[in-house]
Amino acid sequence: MWAWLAIHAALAAAGTWLARAYALRSRLIDQPGERRSHSVATPRGGGIAIVIALLVATVSLGLKFPAYASLALAFGLGLAAIAAIGWVDDHRPLSPWLRLAVHILAAALLAAAVWHARGDPWLALAAFVFAVGLTNVWNFMDGINGLAASQAALVALALAGFGGPVWSWLALALLAACAGFLPFNFPRARIFMGDVGSGAIGYAVAGLGALAATAQAEPARALVLLIPLAAFMVDSSLTLLRRVRRGERWWTPHTQHAYQVWARRVGHVRVTLAYAIFTLLSLASLHLVTEVRIGFMLCMGAGWYISAAFLWWLIQRTERSAP
């Protein structure tokens, strides 16, 4: 296991270093602005290194376990498609609807493979919904140093415990790749993940969740994996709903997420660490629900989401009341 982790961490670290050199040479630079949370011009596109490391792991597992090759192929093709459209968008802005169309196609490919593997249309539908949703959630939440990569690493740790003898290795590859990228992005960002990384990582998390469900005798038990997603799901969804209610152009960049509001007051490092602590505590709670009835699992999950919603409200309220 340690060799597997070291290989993919090294691939991501080397790839991030090369991506930074390419971004500086090609002038792929994010400038500070009122719709951004950083104050220093920073190159972008480093997330491609995480994608490449994860694709290497996917191909390796598909070759080692031929019985799972079709699932691995669907996952890898979807991941590559979302990374590709993100890479293009990092170079020249694309229509958000074109990006969404690619996200939908990649999610449909994953869902079709899951349906073929398990013959369960509800599981396939869940895979489709979460693939589209988390692809965009991670894009929304990639706005301060280290947040998107650290949360992906922690969720991957949870996924590694549910993926069975095959997909746990893919989850560990995602964990290692994020670890290889993080020194370039946290606590000081020398490169940003970019759309090539954020969307692809969201898809990877959803895809790994779907693959983990196919490895379960009772796929519904994979719902427990929603618990470590609480921080990201609540911040992204409540902020989006508030923008829609206000009649704002919700698909445009902004700095209204709770993590962005809080980072303006206390800085990127403290916010990223606070989100990590919240998710780590949720990971610890998973040990209480893995061997109990689904009803108890759902109640505990609701508790985490209610807690995250309260914290979101508190942060937003503090911002409104600030002088």
Return the pLDDT at 24.
Answer: 94
Return the pLDDT at 318.
Answer: 79
Query: Domain tally for the chain?
Result: 1
- Closest-CA residue to 113 (of 69, 64, 58, 172): 69
Mean pLDDT of the chain: 91
Residue list, annotated binding site: 139, 195
Rounded-to-integer distance, Cα 7 and Cα 192, Å: 22
Rounded-to-integer distance, Cα 233 and Cα 49, Å: 25
Amino acid 173 reads A
Residue list, annotated binding site for Mg(2+): 139, 195
Angle (CA) 241-278-239 rounded to 5° is 10
pTM of the predicted model as reported, rounded to 2 decimal places:
0.94
> Which tens digits make up the pLDDT trace of 98-122?
999 999 999 999 999 999 998 889 9
Strands 29-30 and 42-43: antiparallel
- Closest-CA residue to 135 (of 179, 114, 173, 104): 104
Mean predicted confidence (pLDDT) in 34-49:
83
Range of the structural domain that residue 176 is part of: 2-321
Structure tokens at 218: 């009772």
Do residues 271 and 37 touch, judged by C-beta distance below 8 A? no
**What sign results for the dihedral spanned by CA atoms 61, 136, 91, 12?**
negative
Rounded-to-integer distance, Cα 143 and Cα 265, Å: 15
What is the DSSP code (8-state) at residue 37? Answer: S
Give burial (CB, 10 Å; 0-12/13-18/19+) of 260: buried
Q: Residue 27: which region, alpha, beta or left (left: phi > 0; alpha: psi -120 to 50)? A: left
Candidate from 244-248, 288-292, 309-313 with smallest mean pLDDT = 288-292
Query: Per-residue pLDDT for 322 more than 60?
Result: no
> Which tens digits make up the pLDDT trace of 167-199?
999 999 999 999 999 999 999 999 999 999 999
